Structure 1
Amino acid sequence: MSASVGPGWQAPLPLLDLDVLRNFVAIVENRSFSRAAQQVHRTPSALSMQIKSLEATLGKALLVREARRISTTTEGETLLRYARRLLNLNQEAVTQFLQPALQGSVRMGTADDVGTRLLPQVLSRFARFHPSVQVDVSVAPSLELMERFDGDDLDVALMTSGTDGLPEGRGEVVHSEPLVWAGRSGGLASECRPLQLALSNHGCAWRRMALAALDATDIDYRIAYVSESTSGLCAALSADLAVSALPASMVEAPLRSLGQGVGLPVMGNYQVLMLRHPDRQSASDALAETVIEAFQHWSGQSLELASA
């Protein structure tokens, strides 16, 4: 005789498979089943079956399969946030038991544009996993960072490629994104002639790329504002006094990407390079890997915003 079930009884909710969630995140970040399959060492058909099973479990469509790319539905974007949190928590829990505690200190140098955007995320994550490691951070121009790294004054250095004086082939590429023309939303600075520019100091890769693109056109321009920091550039743009070249991920309200509708030339992509000593202490390697993970997460968020 079977036992009776009380009126308040409910069937337990299904448990989400972390491996499936990891693959789901890889598909979204790569915008492709085939590229994700290479990353997680599975076949595209196996990933497709996992996603169909996940959608059946949750009763919601999670991905939109288009001809050239994969995008998320509203429910897929919601799951993506939960998936990343669950995967991070799982890694934190496993690390607590299996990874030996790191000690000591690590010296990190970063260019201003990278530091203002990435450092909070990197330092927060690194501190959670390695609370006993002291991180000394320096912010300086890319060329100075390379010289300090070569002089054994830094363990990890993040630089902007294309900086004047920076040799070709130095460092590994850890991030790449478009450089775009930016100005105040609803502003008129882009219509002024000569075009009023807000740029960084000589030697900056953004400055070089912006001027090279403009010099290939017949657009008359003048450099009206110069700042060592991105916050200074953004201040001039927010006041609608000029336009500037910024990485796409840095363009936030009240600024907007001007696009090609205003007749300004395409500048292409800029890259962030990393220098690190492969034979250094594990704390240095751990920080470098945390930086790479942060860039991957950052790129995934940028793709989400671009497809919204």
Structure 2
Amino acid sequence: MSQLSTLPPSRVALPLLDSEVLRTFVTIAESGSFTRAAQQLCRTPSAVSMQIKRLEETLGQTLFVREARHVRLTTEGEVLLGYSRRLLKLNAEAVTQFLAPTIEGRVGLGLTDDVVGRILPTVLAQFARSHPAVQVDVEVGRSKDLLVRLDEGELDLALVMAGGPGQAGRGEIVHSEPLVWAGREDGVAVQRSPLPVTLAQQGCAWRRITLDALDQAGIAYRIAYSCDHCAGQEAAMLADLAVTAFPKSLVRSPLKRLHNESLPPLGDYQVALVKRPGVGSASEVLAERVAEAFREG
């Protein structure tokens, strides 16, 4: 019997996961193909396959289901994907802290109300740890107002709703999800006629999408509550005063997605990241962190 096998479980050294292997694993999971991953990583397909084989042997789990032209994660692979992304991000933070050139300066970041919860607790906290010499000033407002401030040089980056009224396509689309009808779980507002809706003020992409859909479906409605903040619209729905169009991910109990057959489909809602021309390195790094956070969901 080997010396290792006689050690109590608490003293057996667990294997360490190699960050390069985890990077390969994540790239395959995101591209859905060993071949595409090999191209992105500038490696041969056989080298990529060998890395995954060794990783599976180390963990004693099958991580991918191999199909004809595609691979997909097993249940165990889905679990590892979350850990891998966090480990790689932590590794990048550690390396940046000690090896990357010090980045200093100020970044003016504009956010719409619907993305504040997605960005502030995670991305900005991590960015503050990895780049403590950068001051990030955050302003929350309406998309059209943020774009004006960006064009005037008062903001460096802005996360705005894409496709607002009179808004030309700008920036990089970093997030897309369905808009759905939402209301109180036990509410009756959806049964009223005319349909009471809660909306933001003029200039909001959700407002245009909602009203266009109702007009095209020939549904009578009245604007029962107007507020530019998601919290205000949620309050109107919680009070069962109105229903509205909401991004699917923001519908949380005691609100629910409404499946009333009389309500028209709404399409997708998109978030664009817009950069002011000529922004500095601090803004570029933060922009990449923001885009990465949306890609990872």
Correspondence for 1:304: none
Correspondence for 2:169: 169
For residues 105-254 of structure 1, the aligned pairs below 5 Å read 105-166=106-167, 168-254=168-254
- Structure 1, unaligned runs of 5 or more: 299-308
Distance 1:199 1:155, change over 3 A: same
Comparing 37-46 with 70-79, greater Cα deviation is found at 37-46
1: CA distance, partners of 2:255 / 2:67: 31
Correspondence for 2:262: 263
1: CA distance, partners of 2:264 / 2:50: 44
Give per-residue Cα distances to partners, 1:63-112, cap 9 Å, x unaligned: 56689986655433432332122111110111122211111211111222
Give per-residue Cα distances to partners, 1:217-237, cap 9 Å, x unaligned: 132222211111011111112
**Alpha-carbon offset, residue 118 of structure 1:** 2.0
Report the AA paired with residue 191 of structure 2: E
2: CA distance, partners of 1:46 / 1:235: 55
Give per-residue Cα distances to partners, 1:46-72, cap 9 Å, x unaligned: 666654543343223445668998665
Correspondence for 1:286: 285
**Alpha-carbon offset, residue 204 of structure 1:** 0.5
**Alpha-carbon offset, residue 42 of structure 1:** 5.9
Correspondence for 1:301: none
Give per-residue Cα distances to partners, 1:270-297, cap 9 Å, x unaligned: 2212221353221111111121112112
For residues 83-122 of structure 1, the aligned pairs below 5 Å read 83-122=84-123
SS of 2:84's equivalent?
helix
Question: What do you get for the CA RMSD once the two structures are aligned?
Answer: 3.0
Report the AA paired with residue 293 of structure 1: E
Correspondence for 1:302: none
Distance 1:34 1:55, change over 3 A: closer
2: CA distance, partners of 1:213 / 1:233: 19
SS of 2:217's equivalent?
coil
**Alpha-carbon offset, residue 117 of structure 1:** 3.0
- Structure 2, unaligned runs of 5 or more: none
Percent identity among equivalent residues?
54
Distance 1:71 1:268, change over 3 A: farther
**Alpha-carbon offset, residue 45 of structure 1:** 7.5
